[in-house]
């Protein structure tokens, strides 16, 4: 006899083709019905509320008076909540966001009376190889997933799943989804005819006689008559024993069988049985970039600044930060961040991220102003505060905007030594738009607005130093720029030869011709999936260069290139081979004098529809695998998935295309040759089938439908709803930013240090004395130079923040590569102890950190 574990639940999308306002209104009536049914029938339950506590938050917004009823049922274990705050995506959302999602979900669950200790991930578009790591760090040893699994990866629907560092969780797959047993007949005779087909499919890949029967669906109410109907079936047949159950009870029963489970290491992105929608990595790339910018700014700039200021005596606005994170997480749910929504919803997703960034930037400005206000100037001039979040001292360049009425200015350090800087851009500025006190003036005050790059030496570890802007003084060094044709420093050389860019690594002598070639092709897909037209017509930047201008400045070399690329306006024009529009593209290539990377900024005026724009980077390395980053780790992937050879014959739900997600980095290399691309918010790359030695970075794609049927790479029904989404064509100006790093000696320590330097810039603040808002002086005094702590090791910095509970600080780093690293202990005032991502004691004392492993310290 097989034991069938009935899991009654709902899958609650907060937004999709409907808005969060729609779902919150529905939630009021859904919860009213659920609470009443459970109170009236003590035999009902448990009912699982989709594993995310945000549902409770939403409900209390419309029914705060129901808190006590709800909390009683949660404490009784009849409503199961958590462990997540929202059902996040795992492929394009960052590691700190995933960590905070569980941290806030855990805090919510504990406040409500307990949470489900199961990593329930019912609808994420693919599964990260690091999911077991996150769960085990929070004391969770079981996971339930749906999308991404197939028997070609692991032969059973129950298995042991190992993360990169060896963290293990027992995992169960819902092979036919969380809605496979929705809307069951309540008549036992009818159910007896209906259920066997469902249960046979559920048992197809199962190793034991324990089967999961998920009874629920999207925004579906509790099917309260089902348990009694199954009780009746228990008396009418002997093949199955139906139990009112939970995932926790299922895993206990699975363990009791003693059945050995197969082991799987890696991610799960197979679309054999269920679509994983690989196109979401590049859908609404503007939203992806904004999310990445918010994640990075809050975790690696704002929180470290607030942590430092807190130790100096300023208040730490913990609730304000939590509000920012909660707002971001509402935009990081699988549909939301995927961009596979109605246009109205995507606007709401973007607005939440903009709100979070606005709040974060205001916190930054006010805290830098308060910091500057406590520093006594030791030089003439306006104070410039330069902050370094990284826990080691470094020399760096900082972008800074200055407003000055003077034609000349000098920036000096505490000793009066002039600092070098380079003018990036200058424009006149009406100061009444900047300074509140001038807003009502009858005269206009014009200043120079100067965007500069400032060289800073020996910037303290996790700290700041003070410089001084002296207006009307000569710069103190030669600021002249020279016209050039070639960019060159001690490591690299970039030349434009016959309209093609060639990058040379002077360390190894390796040359990379044809880099940064723009290629525009058709996209016949929708918000879920890229799909090539039946006969694509690709247009490149070859022969379309209209302008070039090279400059050698004090700190870097710059080459500005402009293209006008004739191209089809839309799908119809592409099919007709008609170039009736053009892409106007500007590319700014920057080669720092003191760093081994090429910085790339691209601006596109997008007037086209139904297309995808990529930048191709030929590497010239012939091998079967490459590497990309994943949350707190690195993953090795096939250049061309083997499943491409048989997906059509096996009727897969979509093509296992060589379109891959990344956090920010992809590299293709061997021992002597290779290139790495590090991006700011770009989440998708491809290794084209006909160009296996090329990295193609997707800049963006333009599509006009939420869902379309019968795509070339996704046959059959439309995903989602067949709704027009004209905003997803991304009309107007679009910008992208990334760096190219040649890999002369593979993944060595200097390479990883360069990667971290690029993606974690220092920041500056000019204390002009002007402000939109006034605050009273705090009366504190700070040194002109300060370092909170240091932790100089090979780990990459993840965050520094106040602990979730108490006044300790939480410092986190992670091993980004493939080899173990020695981490040592931070040097700081106060005691240091190792903790988990959940900020609980770990007892770990080993200073050798395995690949793909985060290390967190509490500093009292």
Structure tokens at 305: 């600044």
User: What are the DSSP E strand ranges found in 132-290?
Assistant: 142-145, 158-162, 168-173, 210-215, 240-244, 263-265
**Dihedral angle over CA of 58, 59, 63, 68, nearest 10:** -120
Q: For residues 740 and 600, what is the distance between their CA atoms, to the nearest angstrom?
A: 8
Please pick, among 13, 50, 89, 123, the residue that the annotation labels catalytic: 123
Q: Is 22 a catalytic residue?
A: no
Can you tell me the distance from the alpha carbon of 496 to that of 501, in angstroms, rounded to the nearest whole number?
A: 5
Pairing of strands 809-814, 854-859: antiparallel
In what helix (H) or strand (E) does residue 363 lie, and over which residues does it extend?
helix 343-373
Nearest CA among 155, 257, 221, 200 for reference residue 4: 200
DSSP run (H or E) holding 799: strand 796-802
Strands of the sheet containing 482-483, edge to edge, are: 482-483, 545-552, 556-567, 581-592, 598-606, 732-742, 674-679, 665-669, 625-630, 633-638
Q: Where are the beta strands (DSSP E) in 368-445?
A: 382-388, 394-404, 409-412, 421-430
Q: What angle do CA 650, 654, 659 make, to 5 degrees?
A: 120
Work out whether strand 581-592 and strand 625-630 pair parallel, antiparallel, or are unpaired: unpaired
Q: What's the token pair of residue 163?
A: 């993360």
| Degrees to nearest 5, angle at CA 170 with 165 and 171 | 105
* Alpha carbon distance 853, 134 (integer Å): 10
CA angle 60, 66, 68 (to 5 degrees): 110
Closest to 322 measured CA to CA, from 366, 351, 368, 363? 363
Which positions are annotated as active-site residues?
A: 123
């Amino acid at each position: 006899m097989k034991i069938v574990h009935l899991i009654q639940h709902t899958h609650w999308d907060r937004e999709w083709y409907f808005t969060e306002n729609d779902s919150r209104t529905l939630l009021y009536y859904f919860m009213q019905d659920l609470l009443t049914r459970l109170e009236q029938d003590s035999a009902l339950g448990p009912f699982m509320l989709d594993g995310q506590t945000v549902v409770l938050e939403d409900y209390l917004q419309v029914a705060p008076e129901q808190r006590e009823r709800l909390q009683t049922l949660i404490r009784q274990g009849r409503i199961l909540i958590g462990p997540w705050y929202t059902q996040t995506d795992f492929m394009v959302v960052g590691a700190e966001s995933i960590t905070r999602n569980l941290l806030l979900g855990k805090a919510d669950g504990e406040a409500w009376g307990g949470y489900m200790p199961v990593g329930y991930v019912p609808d994420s578009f693919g599964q990260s190889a690091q999911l077991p790591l996150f769960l085990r760090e929070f004391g969770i040893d079981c996971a339930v997933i749906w999308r991404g699994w197939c028997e070609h990866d692991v032969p059973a629907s129950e298995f042991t799943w190992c993360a990169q560092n060896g963290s293990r969780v027992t995992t169960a797959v819902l092979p036919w989804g969380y809605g496979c047993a929705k809307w069951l007949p309540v008549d036992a005779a009818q159910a007896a005819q209906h259920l066997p087909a469902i249960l046979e499919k559920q048992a197809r890949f199962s190793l034991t006689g324990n089967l999961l029967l998920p009874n629920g669906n999207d925004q579906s109410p509790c099917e309260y008559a089902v348990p009694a109907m199954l009780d009746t079936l228990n008396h009418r047949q002997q093949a199955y024993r139906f139990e009112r159950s939970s995932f926790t009870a299922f895993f206990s029963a699975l363990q009791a069988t003693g059945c050995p489970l197969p082991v799987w290491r890696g991610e799960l992105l197979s679309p054999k049985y269920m679509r994983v929608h690989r196109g979401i990595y590049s859908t609404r790339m503007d939203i992806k970039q904004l999310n990445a910018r918010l994640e990075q700014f809050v975790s690696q700039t704002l929180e470290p600044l607030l942590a430092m200021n807190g130790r100096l005596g300023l208040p730490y606005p913990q609730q304000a930060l939590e509000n920012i994170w909660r707002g971001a997480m509402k935009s990081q749910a699988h549909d939301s961040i995927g961009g596979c929504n109605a246009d109205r919803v995507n606007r709401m997703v973007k607005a939440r991220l903009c709100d979070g960034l606005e709040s974060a930037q205001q916190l930054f400005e006010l805290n830098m102003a308060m910091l500057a206000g406590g520093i006594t100037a030791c030089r003439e001039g306006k104070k410039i505060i330069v902050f370094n979040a990284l826990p080691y001292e470094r020399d760096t360049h900082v972008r800074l905007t200055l407003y000055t009425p003077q034609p000349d200015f000098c920036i000096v350090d505490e000793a009066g030594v002039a600092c070098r800087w380079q003018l990036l851009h200058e424009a006149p500025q009406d100061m009444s738009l900047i300074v509140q006190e001038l807003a009502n003036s009858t005269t206009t005050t014009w200043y120079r607005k100067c965007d500069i790059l400032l060289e800073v030496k020996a910037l303290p570890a996790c700290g700041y130093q003070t410089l001084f802007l002296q207006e009307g003084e000569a710069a103190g060094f030669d600021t002249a720029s020279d016209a050039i044709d070639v960019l060159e420093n001690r490591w690299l050389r970039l030349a434009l030869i016959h309209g093609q860019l060639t990058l040379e690594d002077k360390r190894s002598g390796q040359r990379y011709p044809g880099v940064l070639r723009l290629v525009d092709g058709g996209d016949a897909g929708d918000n879920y999936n890229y799909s090539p037209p039946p006969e694509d017509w690709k247009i490149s930047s070859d022969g379309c260069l209209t302008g070039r201008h090279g400059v050698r400045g004090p700190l870097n070399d710059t080459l500005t290139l402009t293209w006008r690329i004739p191209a089809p306006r839309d799908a119809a024009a592409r099919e007709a081979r008609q170039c009736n529009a053009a892409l106007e593209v500007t590319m700014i290539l920057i080669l720092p004098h003191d760093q081994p990377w090429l910085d790339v900024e691209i601006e596109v005026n997008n007037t086209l529809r139904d297309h995808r724009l990529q930048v191709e980077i030929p590497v010239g390395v012939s091998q079967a695998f490459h590497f990309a980053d994943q949350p707190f780790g690195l993953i090795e992937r096939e250049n061309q998935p083997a499943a491409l050879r048989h997906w059509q014959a096996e009727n897969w739900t979509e093509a296992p295309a060589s379109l891959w997600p990344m956090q920010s980095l992809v590299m293709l290399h061997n021992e002597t040759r290779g290139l790495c691309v590090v991006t700011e918010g770009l989440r998708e790359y491809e290794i084209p089938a006909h160009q296996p030695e090329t990295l193609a970075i997707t800049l963006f794609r333009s599509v006009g439908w939420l869902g379309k049927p019968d795509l070339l790479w996704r046959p059959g029904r439309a995903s989602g709803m067949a709704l027009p989404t004209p905003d997803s064509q991304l009309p107007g100006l679009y910008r992208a930013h990334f760096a190219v790093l040649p890999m002369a000696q593979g993944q060595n320590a200097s390479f990883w240090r360069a990667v971290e330097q690029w993606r974690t810039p220092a920041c500056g603040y000019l204390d002009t004395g002007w402000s939109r808002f006034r605050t009273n002086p705090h009366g504190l005094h700070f040194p002109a130079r300060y370092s909170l702590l240091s932790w100089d090791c090979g780990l990459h910095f993840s965050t520094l923040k106040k602990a979730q509970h108490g006044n300790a600080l939480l410092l986190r780093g992670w091993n980004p590569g493939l080899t173990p690293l020695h981490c040592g202990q931070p040097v700081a005032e106060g005691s240091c102890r190792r903790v988990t991502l959940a900020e609980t004691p770990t007892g770990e004392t080993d200073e050798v950190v395995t690949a793909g492993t985060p290390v967190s310290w509490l500093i009292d």
